[in-house]
Structures are given as C-alpha cells and as structure tokens.
C-alpha cells in the first residue's frame, strides 16, 4: 500500500481498515462454532463506522449495541432488527422505548431495577419484551482492571442467585419473555480458561432454569477474545469453542458471541505524520500530527501499539524516543520508549492494531477535528468518513447573545 499517496490525497492523520481482514476473522470465528447453531453479534462500540457495520451485516453478522445510538447506527447500516441485541448497565427509559419500538431480538438486562422498568414500559406499550439476563459469574478475566467486567466488584450484570430469581419473575410476567442468558467477563482476554469457567457456571444456571420449565434459546458468551498487539499468543479458537461446547452438552441453544476487538483490531491502522523531533536533555521526542484525542488507548491503558516508521531516507542509528501528539497533556503519547531511527518532518508513522477502540473512542479535545477513515477492500481504497471541519465542530453550539 502506498501510504504516501494516501497521505497526499487525504492528508494526515487517518485511520485505514482492511475489510478483507475483517472477513477473514469473521469466517474464522464462525467456523470454530460450525458444529452448533451460532450467531455473531459484532460489538459496535469497537468500531461503529457505518461502512464497517454495513460490511459486517453483509456477512450476516448481528450487532451488540450498548446505546440507542448504536442501535440507530446498526439499523442505518442495514442490520435486521431481529439481529440486534442491547446491553449496558445504564439504559434510559427513552433507550428502552426505542429498542422495544424497533422490535430488536432481545435486551440484556443488568439489574433487577432495569427489569422492572422494562416490564413497566412494555406493559404501557401493550407488548412483551424479549429479555436475557447478564450474569456476573464472579470469574477473574485476568486482564487490565479497566476492562475486567466479570467480578462482583465490577458494576456489570447480576449474581447467579439474583438472576435465577429474576428469571422466575420474568417467566410469570405477561410483559417479559426470557429468551437468553448472557455473560461477558472482560476484554483482551488471552487466557480463555476464564471464559470457559464462566461458561460452565452459567450453563449450570441454564440447566437449573430448564428444570423450572424456563427454556432459553440463546446462550450469549459475550466478547473479550484477546488479540496480538505485540507478541501475545492469541487464544486458540478451536479450544475456545470446544470449551464452550463442552459446557453445553445436551442443551439445545444458539450460541451468541459479541466479538469486537477480535474482528477489527488488527484490520486497522492509524497513520500519522512526523511534525518535529526534539530532545529535552536526554529525552528524545518525536512529535506527530495524531494525538491522544485520535487514539486514546496508549494514554488511558498504557496500551502497546506497534509502530512503523516510513521514511524515504532513513539515516542514522536507532535510539529510544516517545512518540507524542500535540495535545496539552503530559499523558498524550502514542508510544513510549521505542527504538526509532532519526525522523524528519513529513515521514509517516503507522500505528498498528488500531481498528478497535480507536476512532470510536476519539474526541475533539483541544478542538482538534476528528480524522478521516478509509477502507481497503480488494486493493481498492475508499473514504468512509470525511475529516471533520471546524464548522462541523461548532455546528451545534448556540450563539451567546447578551440580554
Ligand atoms: N460485549 C459487551 C457486553 C462488552 O461490554 C464488550 C466490550 C464487548 C462485548 C466486546 O468486547 P471485545 O470483544 O472487544 O473485547 N476500550 C477498551 C475495551 C473496552 C471493552 C468494553 N466492552 C480498549 O480499548 O481496550
């Protein structure tokens, strides 16, 4: 790929996603579960660009949404309402009404209070709401604490005993129809034994529910599959699937999966341009035109992203540097302590593994325009989101007029 040509045509910084790679990952995951009924619900939050969603919908993906906004996006991208599910600890009345009006597949409930509210709203609408309960199995996903969600100390889901009580209640309600059970214990999980342990615990609940004549169709194992950013060993999908299937022996359910990162992280790159180099005493900085507002993961989680320097004339020895943006925060870096050859203004730096939680977590901090997004498919490149303008940024603000 000629990054310089792209940089000339679209300016920098930009994100670029390889749709062929997304398809490869989608097929791989789907195949691992081919022995059973399964449905992938792509976690929209990872990368919610409409073209990415539309492409995934064309592969028959469903969508896991965590806000009415994400449901809106999925529908706009052409998703079928019966392939959309809605998760999240803090759904508002308006969002629940929106989801019920759109008649999505089911809502993943995260508290008893939320269940009562959904029941009330559904009763007002004179209809029944399909629900699933997110169980918090109290299993340690052994990942970054900010993205661990399956322990009782995390805010997500309800404990097994509460879930059971809630299913019994829901089964009796005229306005709730329990159709599934859900868990998601964290993100960037490399040791899948924790997901398998959670699956065992939750499948036991499923068996107890069957004994109570509560029959669920969906066993939703969430997302969380870790990917390789540096030298991590990605989980073996065959073992992953076997572990889940083993816990479901004798149960006739459709396995729901909510992968985000697994499908898109390594299909995306963030491309930024070198502006300056400088040394503060011994410390070397390479200052680029991309920053933490464009790609927050390094600043927020100290996440590692592979860096590649593209230069038409690399001269000199490698030395350690931080690659930093122009935002007024010391925590604004894309990479720290990396060995890089001397750079010059106009060189390009490719930040790898940026397809998930990259653009979707970007902001306008420091009144910086959000960057443009490109897609590559069959060697053809197209723009899928234009670069913002300053006018876009102020468009919703209301002029202050003194009384
Ligand atoms: N399902 C639920 C209910 C979730 O909360 C998440 C992610 C997923 C699925 C998708 O997880 P994945 O397959 O992508 O691991 N911003 C962080 C990641 C936050 C994940 C939040 N929940 C990061 O940049 O690492």
pLDDT in tens, 123-135: 999 999 999 999 9
148 pLDDT above the threshold of 90:
no
| pLDDT tier, 145 (very low <50, low <70, confident <90, very high otherwise) | confident
Please report the DSSP string for 136-189 in residue order.
-------S-GGGB-SSTTSSSSB-HHHHHHHHHHHHH-SSEEEEEEE---BSSB
Q: Does the beta carbon of 184 lie inside 6 Å of ligand 1?
A: yes
Cα distance between residue 337 and residue 322, in whole Å? 5
Please report the DSSP string for 255-299 in residue order.
EEE--SHHHHGGGEEEEEEEEEEEEETTEEEEEES--TTT--HHH
Number of neighbouring beta carbons within 10 Å of residue 306: 17
Q: Which one of 137, 187, 195, 224 would you pick to mutate in the ligand 1 pocket, going by the greatest count of ligand atoms within 8 A of its CB?
A: 187
259 belongs to an annotated ligand binding site: yes
Closest approach atom of ligand 1 to CA 149 = 5
Q: Does the beta carbon of 357 lie inside 6 Å of ligand 1?
A: yes
Q: Does the beta carbon of 362 lie inside 6 Å of ligand 1?
A: no
Give the tokens for residue 377. 């498919």
Q: Does the beta carbon of 65 lie inside 6 Å of ligand 1?
A: no
Angle between helix 193-211 and 160-172 (nearest 10): 40
Locus of tokens 């529910």: 209
Q: Does the beta carbon of 258 lie inside 6 Å of ligand 1?
A: yes
Rg, the chain, Cα only: 23
Tell me the CA–centroid distance for residue 247 and ligand 1, in Å.
23
Q: Does the beta carbon of 353 lie inside 6 Å of ligand 1?
A: no
The conformation of residue 53, written as its DSSP 8-state character, comes to H
Q: What pLDDT is attached to residue 108?
A: 97
Cα distance between residue 192 and residue 221, in whole Å? 12
42 belongs to an annotated ligand binding site: no
261 belongs to an annotated ligand binding site: yes
How confident is the model over 89-116, as pLDDT tens digits?
Answer: 999 999 999 999 999 999 999 999 999 9
Q: Does the beta carbon of 119 lie inside 6 Å of ligand 1?
A: no
Residues 6+ apart with CB under 8 A from 182: 87, 108, 132, 133, 134, 135, 157, 218, 220, 222, 256
**How many Å separate Cα 263 from the centre of its chain?**
9
Q: What pLDDT is attached to residue 146?
A: 77
Closest Cα to atom 19 of ligand 1: 147
Give the tokens for residue 43. 């976690």
Q: What pLDDT is attached to residue 316?
A: 87
User: What would the mean pLDDT of 246-271 be, rounded to a whole number?
Assistant: 97
Q: Which residues are catalytic?
A: 328
Closest approach atom of ligand 1 to CA 262 = 13
Output the CA angle 134-135-139, nearest 5 degrees.
130
Q: Is residue 177 within 8 Å of residue 130, measured between CB atoms?
A: yes
Tell me the CA–centroid distance for residue 143 and ligand 1, in Å.
12
Q: Is residue 112 within 8 Å of residue 158, measured between CB atoms?
A: yes
Nearest to 145 by CA among 110, 187, 90, 89: 187
How confident is the model over 179-197, as pLDDT tens digits?
Answer: 999 999 999 999 999 999 9
- Model pTM greater than 0.95? yes
| pLDDT tier, 153 (very low <50, low <70, confident <90, very high otherwise) | confident
Tell me the CA–centroid distance for residue 395 and ligand 1, in Å.
31
Q: What pLDDT is attached to residue 229?
A: 98
Tell me the CA–centroid distance for residue 154 and ligand 1, in Å.
14
56, containing H or E segment:
helix 50-58
Closest approach atom of ligand 1 to CA 134 = 3
Q: What pLDDT is attached to residue 35?
A: 86
| pLDDT tier, 345 (very low <50, low <70, confident <90, very high otherwise) | very high
Tell me the CA–centroid distance for residue 249 and ligand 1, in Å.
27
**How many Å separate Cα 103 from the centre of its chain?**
23
How confident is the model over 287-344, as pLDDT tens digits?
Answer: 999 999 999 999 999 999 999 999 887 788 999 999 999 999 999 999 999 999 999 9
141 pLDDT above the threshold of 90:
no
Q: What pLDDT is attached to residue 140?
A: 83
142 pLDDT above the threshold of 90:
no
Q: Does the beta carbon of 297 lie inside 6 Å of ligand 1?
A: yes
Cα distance between residue 177 and residue 14, in whole Å? 45
Q: What pLDDT is attached to residue 305?
A: 98
User: What would the mean pLDDT of 271-284 be, rounded to a whole number?
Assistant: 97
Q: What pLDDT is attached to residue 154?
A: 79
208 belongs to an annotated ligand binding site: no
390 pLDDT above the threshold of 80:
yes
357 belongs to an annotated ligand binding site: yes
Mean pLDDT of the chain: 96
Q: What pLDDT is attached to residue 119?
A: 98
Instruction: Provide the β-strand partners of residue 285.
Output: 278, 322
Tell me the CA–centroid distance for residue 78 and ligand 1, in Å.
23
User: What would the mean pLDDT of 133-161 be, rounded to a whole number?
Assistant: 84
User: What would the mean pLDDT of 357-361 be, rounded to a whole number?
Assistant: 98
Cα distance between residue 373 and residue 243, in whole Å? 37
353 pLDDT above the threshold of 80:
yes
């Amino acid at each position: 790929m000629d990054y310089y040509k792209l940089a000339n045509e679209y300016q920098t910084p930009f994100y670029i996603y390889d749709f062929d790679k997304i398809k490869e990952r989608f097929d791989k995951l789907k195949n691992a579960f081919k022995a059973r009924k399964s449905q992938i619900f792509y976690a929209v939050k990872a990368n919610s660009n409409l073209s990415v969603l539309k492409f995934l919908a064309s592969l028959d993906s469903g969508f896991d949404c965590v806000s009415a906004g994400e449901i809106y996006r999925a529908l706009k991208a052409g998703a079928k309402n019966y392939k959309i599910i809605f998760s999240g600890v803090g759904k508002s009345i308006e969002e629940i009404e929106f989801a019920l009006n759109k008649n999505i597949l089911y809502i993943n409930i995260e508290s008893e209070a939320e269940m009562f509210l959904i029941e009330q709203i559904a009763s007002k609408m004179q209809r029944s709401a399909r629900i699933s309960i997110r169980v918090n199995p109290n299993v340690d996903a052994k990942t970054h604490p900010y993205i661990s969600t399956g322990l009782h100390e995390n805010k997500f889901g309800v404990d097994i005993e509460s879930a059971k009580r809630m299913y019994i209640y829901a089964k009796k309600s005229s306005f709730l129809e329990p159709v599934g059970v859900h868990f998601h214990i964290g993100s960037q999980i490399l040791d899948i034994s924790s997901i398998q342990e959670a699956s065992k615990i939750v499948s036991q609940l499923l068996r107890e529910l069957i004994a109570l004549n509560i029959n669920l169709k969906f066993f939703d194992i969430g997302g969380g599959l870790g990917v390789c950013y540096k030298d991590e060993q990605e989980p073996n999908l065959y073992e992953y699937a076997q572990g889940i299937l083993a816990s479901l022996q004798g149960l006739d359910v459709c396995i729901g999966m909510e992968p985000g990162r697994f499908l898109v992280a390594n299909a995306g790159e963030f491309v930024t341009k070198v502006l300056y180099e400088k040394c503060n005493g011994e410390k070397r900085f390479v200052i680029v035109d991309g920053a933490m507002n464009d790609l927050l993961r390094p600043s927020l989680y100290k996440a590692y992203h592979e860096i590649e320097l593209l230069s038409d004339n690399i001269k000199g020895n490698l030395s350690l540097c931080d690659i930093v943006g122009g935002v007024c925060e010391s925590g604004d870096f894309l990479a720290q302590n990396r060995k890089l050859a001397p750079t010059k203004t106009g060189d390009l730096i490719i930040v790898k593994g940026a397809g998930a939680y990259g653009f979707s977590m970007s902001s306008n901090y420091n009144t910086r325009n959000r960057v443009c997004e490109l897609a590559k498919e069959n060697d053809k490149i197209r723009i899928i989101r234009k670069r913002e303008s300053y006018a876009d940024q102020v468009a919703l603000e209301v002029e202050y007029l003194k009384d």
